[in-house]
Structure 1
Amino acid sequence: MIKHVLTITLNPTVDKSCEAEGIKPEKKVRCSQPKYEPGGGGINVSRGLARLGVSSTALFPSGGRTGELLEKLLEKEKVAIQPVPVSAETRENFIVVDTASNDQYRFGMPGEAIVEEEAEKIHAAILGVSPFPEIVVISGSLPPGIEPQFLSRLVKELKAKNVKVVADTSGDALTEILKEGVFLLKPNLGELSKLTGKEELDNESADEAAKQLIDEGKAEIVVVSMGPQGAYLVTKDENLHVPAPSVKKLSTVGAGDSMVAGMVSVLAKGGSMSEMAKMGVACGSAATMSKGTGLFTKENAERLYQWLSR
Structure 2
Amino acid sequence: MIYTVTLNPSLDYVVEIDEMKLGGINRSKSEHMLPGGKGINVSVVLKNLGVPSVALGFVAGFTGDEIVKNVSDLGIDVDFIVLEEGMSRINVKLKAAKETEINCAGPYISQGNVEKLYAKLDKLQEGDVLVLAGSIPNSVPDFIYQDIMIRLAKKNVMVIVDATKDLLCNVLEKHPFLIKPNIHELGEIFGVELKNNEEIITYGKKLQERGAKNVLISMAGDGAIFLGEDGSVYESPAPKGTVVNSVGAGDSMVAGFLAGYLEKKEYQHAFKMGISAGSASAFSKDLATKEEIQKVYNGLSFVLDRKDIIG
Per the normalisation by structure 2, the TM-score is 0.90
Alignment partner of 1:165 is 2:159: yes
Alignment partner of 1:235 is 2:225: no
Structure 2 CA distance for aligned equivalents of residues 306 and 33 of structure 1: 32
Specify the SS of the correspondent of 1:182: coil
- The RMSD of aligned alpha carbons is 1.8
Q: How big is the shift at 1:106?
A: 1.3
Alignment partner of 1:176 is 2:173: no
Specify the SS of the correspondent of 2:168: helix
Specify the SS of the correspondent of 1:156: helix
Q: How big is the shift at 1:228?
A: 1.4
Structure 1 CA distance for aligned equivalents of residues 91 and 297 of structure 2: 31
Structure 2 CA distance for aligned equivalents of residues 80 and 133 of structure 1: 19
Structure 2 CA distance for aligned equivalents of residues 86 and 39 of structure 1: 18
Query: 41-50 or 242-251, which moves further after superposition?
Result: 242-251
Q: Higher RCO, 1 or 2 (CA under 8 Å, sep at least 6)?
A: 1
Match of 1:189 in 2: 183
Pairing 1:10-159 to 2, within 5 Å after superposition: 10-32=7-29, 34-87=31-84, 88-98=86-96, 102-128=97-123, 134-159=128-153
Partner amino acid for 2:129?
A: I
Q: How big is the shift at 1:103?
A: 3.0
Alignment partner of 1:222 is 2:219: no
Q: How big is the shift at 1:71?
A: 0.6
1:196–1:213 Cα contact (<8 Å) kept: no
Q: How big is the shift at 1:282?
A: 0.5
Query: 144-153 or 271-280, which moves further after superposition?
Result: 144-153
Structure 2 CA distance for aligned equivalents of residues 250 and 170 of structure 1: 25
Q: How big is the shift at 1:185?
A: 0.9
Structure 2 CA distance for aligned equivalents of residues 299 and 238 of structure 1: 28
Partner amino acid for 1:94?
A: V
Specify the SS of the correspondent of 1:125: helix
Specify the SS of the correspondent of 2:117: helix
Specify the SS of the correspondent of 2:99: strand
Structure 1 CA distance for aligned equivalents of residues 168 and 182 of structure 2: 12
Q: How big is the shift at 1:196?
A: 4.0
Match of 1:274 in 2: 268
Structure 1 CA distance for aligned equivalents of residues 293 and 13 of structure 2: 24
Q: Equivalent pairs: percent with the same residue?
A: 32
Partner amino acid for 1:302?
A: Q
1:278–1:309 Cα contact (<8 Å) kept: no
Partner amino acid for 1:305?
A: Y
Query: Structure 1, residues 48-84: CA drift from partner, whole Å, max 9, x if none?
Result: 0000000011101111100000011111111111111
**1:195 and 1:29, CA in 2 relative to 1: closer, same or farther beyond 3 A?**
closer
Match of 2:300 in 1: 308
Partner amino acid for 1:25?
A: L
1:7–1:137 Cα contact (<8 Å) kept: yes
Structure 2 CA distance for aligned equivalents of residues 174 and 265 of structure 1: 22
Partner amino acid for 2:216?
A: V
Match of 2:308 in 1: none
Match of 2:200 in 1: 206
Alignment partner of 1:259 is 2:250: no
Q: How big is the shift at 1:201?
A: 4.5
Query: Structure 1, residues 100-146: CA drift from partner, whole Å, max 9, x if none?
Result: xx4322111111221121111122122235x6762111000011211
Partner amino acid for 1:125?
A: K
Structure 2 CA distance for aligned equivalents of residues 21 and 241 of structure 1: 36
Specify the SS of the correspondent of 2:257: helix
Structure 2 CA distance for aligned equivalents of residues 211 and 106 of structure 1: 32
Per the normalisation by structure 1, the TM-score is 0.91
Partner amino acid for 1:306?
A: N
1:62–1:90 Cα contact (<8 Å) kept: yes
How many residue pairs match? The answer is 300
Structure 2 CA distance for aligned equivalents of residues 201 and 97 of structure 1: 29
Specify the SS of the correspondent of 1:179: helix
Equivalent of 2:290 in 274, 295, 298: 298
Structure 2 CA distance for aligned equivalents of residues 196 and 22 of structure 1: 37
